[in-house]
Chain A
Amino acid sequence: MKDKVLFEQKFEINGGDFVNAGESCYKVKSILREIGIDSDIIRRISIAAYEAEMNVVMYAKHGVMHLLVYPGKILLKIEDKGQGIKDIELAMQPGFSTATEEMREMGFGAGMGLPNIKKNADAFDIKSTVGKGTKLNITFNLNSKNG
């Protein structure tokens, strides 16, 4: 019974939509506030969710952010239909980015996205197929004293 989903909700993310980028992240945050998740955990989730959302906006056509709340953890699944990642190990290295010059000028593509997600998560799992898309599973534990 430990792994029963208490709550879940899906949010659509449109690739290339810089105007509304960050919206899913805000919605996730406001849900977590309402159900009384500790603010430090919300901040970590918020950073990870924002980075993941931006990756979809920058590199994919379409994606879905799936928020799942369990008794002891929060799982954030981000699945996109996009170009995929050729070399995941390389992409995980801080500072590595395939962002175009324009994206960098807008302040994106510092190569900190995936490393930042990993840093803020308690568990992190990435699967990607070139030409098809990328799946992220980001887990945050709630069992600690402040869960």
Chain B
Amino acid sequence: MKSCPTMAIRVRNRKAKINYDRCIDCGECLRVCPYSAVIPMTTSTADLNKFTYKVALPSPVLYSQFGQHIMPNEILTVLKDTGFDYVYDEAVMCEMTSMAIEEYLEEHKSPRPMISSTCPVVVRLIQRLFPSLCELIIPIEPPREVAAKNLRDEISEKHKIPKDSIGIIHITPCAAKMVSINRPETMQKSHLDGALSIHEMYNDVMMKLKKTKRPSVLEKHHPISGIGIGWTIAGGEMRELKYTHSVSVSGVYDTIKILEDVESGKLKNIEYLECFICPDGCIGGPLTVENRFVARSNVLRLIRTYGDKKTVSTHVVHRLYKEKFFSFEAAVKPKPFPPLDKDRTMAIKKMELIEETFKKLPGTDCGVCGAPYCRTFAEDVARGEAKLQDCFFYIKRKERR
């Protein structure tokens, strides 16, 4: 209950309930709940079977999950064997997106700072809490979406399969991906068909990796991109940008803090701001298996191995950029949290009521009432969603009198 940064959880009748008007899908609750009461939405295997051609699009985070000696190509090969017809290395698209972002920044000198669109939770947080900053989100789709769009076209043409019988599934560390697929913010329909968590895939891939005798005949993949793999850790996205005034932030509270500063006009001298809700970036996602410190070390090792050599041509990316291949279909729209009341006079009355109620509460933030803090409880009372009598201490004190 207290882990929720937007205070969206209430416990009523022994059950934790999430208020979806306030939820930003950050996954903090998923990380901490000792009772596993929160279940992330992902695609089921049954859903997968309706596609005739199945494509796995693993987040490069997957490469950091199996120790330091297993290389991306092995993981991709084995992943394909778990029931896919094709696998695609998202890192390549990450590298291309880096180049597209650079072109965009070059072409548009203001406003500043531009904010990365990669983390779906950050996008939602901005819509909810900082709606006026929507215009600062860089209108470049994250790599997963661009990759899926491209794959669908290519595969459909190559194998003569109708586009809707191709299933493109993101293998993800992120609890919010499924939501961003079901309810995309910048397009009519997501290019992805579903998301499976790294968690769910882990055992299968691990067993198969053990059985594979190395060096086995590995399928040839595009050369692995060290630049792209860097996207999985905070600071990686802008590693390749030539802009020195870039800032990388990770973790939900630090992200909120820096967005407050952006809103006050404090950070105008910064070119590019990369925010990740998960600590240390996507490797800190709640659906990963390896602990994020080890994963980070694995990523750094992979970056060293593959180096900063470009694996895609600048020329090609430039052409695609001009064709708006990377661009948003629609701008991100503000979706602010509902105010206390639609009518301003009423909202102010309710705010005063909150202050009054708050003074009657013990200030212990005990959570017995089912709200995380005394102040949130006072808010619930003002909104008519709770009764002052729900406070145990308030009742006790009244009885004593």
Contacts and interface: CB of A to CB of B under 8 A. Distances in A.
B336 A39 contact: yes
Contacts of B352: 7
A50 B347 contact: no
Interface residues of A, number: 25
Nearest to B338: A36
A33 B351 contact: no
Interface in A34-69: 34-37, 39-40, 42-43, 46-47, 49-51, 69
B131 interface: yes
Contacts of A47: 263-265
A31 B379 CA distance: 13
B345 A6 contact: yes
A14 interface: no
A6 B263 contact: no
A69 B344 CA distance: 10
Given A36-B339, A36-B340, A36-B342, A46 B348 contact: no
Contact of A35 (B130, B337, B351): B351
B264 A31 contact: no
Contacts of A50: 264-266
A39 B334 CA distance: 9
B339 A107 contact: no
Contacts of A43: 132-133, 263
Contacts, number: 65
Nearest to B334: A39
Interface in B87-135: 129-133
A25 interface: yes
Contacts of A141: none
Nearest to B340: A34
Contacts of A40: 132
Contacts of B263: 29, 42-43, 46-47
A26 B345 CA distance: 22
Contacts of B337: 33
A116 interface: yes
A65 to B, nearest CB: 13
Given A6-B345, A46-B263, A35 B131 contact: no
B260 A69 contact: no
A22 interface: yes
A7 B264 contact: no
B45 interface: no
B131 A39 contact: yes
A26 B351 contact: no
Contacts of B345: 6, 71
Contacts of B204: none
B269 interface: yes
A42 B132 contact: yes
A69 to B, nearest CB: 7
A42 B261 CA distance: 13
Interface of A: 6-7, 22, 25-26, 29, 31, 33-37, 39-40, 42-43, 46-47, 49-51, 69, 71, 107, 116
Given A6-B345, A47-B265, A116-B265, 19 more contacts: A6-B348, A26-B260, A33-B129, A33-B339, A34-B347, A35-B348, A36-B338, A36-B339, A39-B131, A39-B132, A39-B336, A42-B132, A42-B263, A43-B133, A46-B265, A50-B264, A50-B265, A51-B265, A69-B348
6 contacts: A22-B260, A33-B336, A35-B351, A39-B132, A69-B348, A71-B345
